Amino acid sequence: MAAFRALGLAPWLAEQARQVGLSRPTPVQAACIPPVLQGRDCLGCAKTGSGKTAAFVLPILQVLSEDPYGIFCLVLTPTRELAYQIAEQFRVLGKPLGLKDCVVVGGLDMVAQALELSRKPHVVIATPGRLADHLRSSNTFSLKKLKFLVMDEADRLLEQGCADFTPDLEVILDAVPRHRQTLLFSATLTDTLKELKGLAANSPFFWEAESEVRTVDELDQRYLLVPEALKDAYLVHLIQTFQDEHEDWSIIIFTKTCKDCQVLSMMLRRYNFPAVALHSMMKQRQRFAALAKFKSSIFKILIATDVAARGLDIPTVQVVINHNTPGLPKIYIHRVGRTARAGRKGMAITLVTQYDIHLVHAIEEEI
């Protein structure tokens, strides 16, 4: 608690942090909270699982407590799942304020969302596409009094090729005031993100983790060389072994395609493993239900495509298994970052076939 107070946080907020298990600030929190409280723009780049979300939630709540009004803060994020996780952190840490938040994402009723926005929540957490749709079609809310604009997973929001958010971001940036605090947080520093320093014009503070290695020390990383034809058999053996040796266990398995994800989940359930799928072809309600069942340990195994690799915060995941070797090192880093979070130990196992050796070499050079 004293360590958070030393960063400039009020006693009530430091106590809230303690109650949710934040015993001491992580490096990104220690570096970024003071300049945000001083009113400076911030670009924070740190490895996955390092506490980036709390690095902006805590100082925003403190500034909000001094002059609470809506809409005070807008958080943009590339995925619906991440939006709900950020909203949960705001709710838990901001409970003493009676914080009102609104999640604006695709796949849900626009009329209900518009009604929530018209009630001027303190914090709006949104995906760019759906928020831009509201701005184009409605005049029931305004972002002109906004104090904070946050872009979480900013590299993915701004990189062309992963998803083209550019037209939607232009609509949003036109709707927010020029005089605001802009906070950009990311796991990777890309060329696109470097160019964005121009968005942060208010005495910008830039912080990047010292180490170029983007996986945490607590992560035990292993490769398992397997013939392509026997990969699924080795996977079943791995899961059975882990299930036999651990009472409290949970596994995320990453696959390359939605089809692989669905087929694998059906196969594992046929072998009586408690598995559930998560991929972009599922309806939003199905995705929420799948995540809820995994988080509550109804299902111990989550099979997911890379839609779930960014930002999902499920602290109890012990093992990540890459069913396919990722084609890019940064995809590998984001996948394995779903375990060994917040100081906990974790293991990542990648199934490597005879066709994947060059991909493994590329990953090793990066990490």
Q: Which domains does the chain have, with CATH numbers?
A: 2-208 (3.40.50.300), 219-366 (3.40.50.300)
What is the Cβ-side half-sphere exposure of residue 214, based on CA atoms within 13 angstroms?
A: 24
Query: In this prediction, what percent of the chain has a pLDDT beyond 70?
Result: 89
> Given this model, what pLDDT does residue 155 score?
77
| pLDDT for 247 beyond 90 | no
Single-letter residue type at 56 = F
| pLDDT for 230 beyond 90 | yes
> Given this model, what pLDDT does residue 199 score?
61
> Given this model, what pLDDT does residue 63 score?
97
Q: What is the mean pLDDT of residues 323-340?
A: 88
Report how far residue 207's alpha carbon sits from residue 86's, in angstroms, rounded to the nearest whole number: 21
- Tell me the three state secondary structure of residue 149: strand
Q: What is the mean pLDDT of residues 231-235?
A: 96
**Triad 109, 110, 113: Cα angle to 5°:** 95
Tell which residue, 323, 347, 328, 316, has the closest CA to residue 222. 347
Q: Could you report the per-residue pLDDT of 9-58, keeping only the tens digit for each?
A: 999 999 999 998 888 898 999 999 999 999 999 998 877 677 889 999 99
Cα 243 versus chain centre, distance: 27
Report how far residue 45's alpha carbon sits from residue 34's, in angstroms, rounded to the nearest whole number: 16
| pLDDT for 236 beyond 80 | yes
Report how far residue 333's alpha carbon sits from residue 272's, in angstroms, rounded to the nearest whole number: 30
> Given this model, what pLDDT does residue 71 score?
95
Single-letter residue type at 155 = D
Burial of 99 (0-12, 13-18, 19+ CB in 10 A): buried
Q: Could you report the per-residue pLDDT of 66-107, keeping only the tens digit for each?
A: 999 989 999 999 888 889 999 999 999 999 999 999 999 998
Report how far residue 326's alpha carbon sits from residue 10's, in angstroms, rounded to the nearest whole number: 43
| pLDDT for 108 beyond 90 | no
Mean pLDDT taken over the chain: 88
Q: Could you report the per-residue pLDDT of 140-181, keeping only the tens digit for each?
A: 899 999 999 999 988 777 764 444 567 898 899 999 999 999
Quick one: pLDDT band at residue 198, thresholds 50, 70, 90? Answer: low
Pair of tokens at residue 279: 């991929």
Pair of tokens at residue 187: 């796991």
Tell which residue, 6, 123, 141, has the closest CA to residue 65. 123
Question: What are the strands, taking DSSP E only, across 132-263?
Answer: 148-152, 181-186, 205-208, 219-225, 251-254
The set of residues, in sequence order, having a beta carbon less than 8 Å from that of 69 and lying 6+ positions away, is 120, 122, 145
Q: Which of 141-145, 234-238, 314-318 has the lowest mean pLDDT?
A: 314-318
Single-letter residue type at 69 = Y
Q: Kindly report the number of other CB atoms within 10 A of residue 200's CB atom.
A: 19
Single-letter residue type at 322 = N
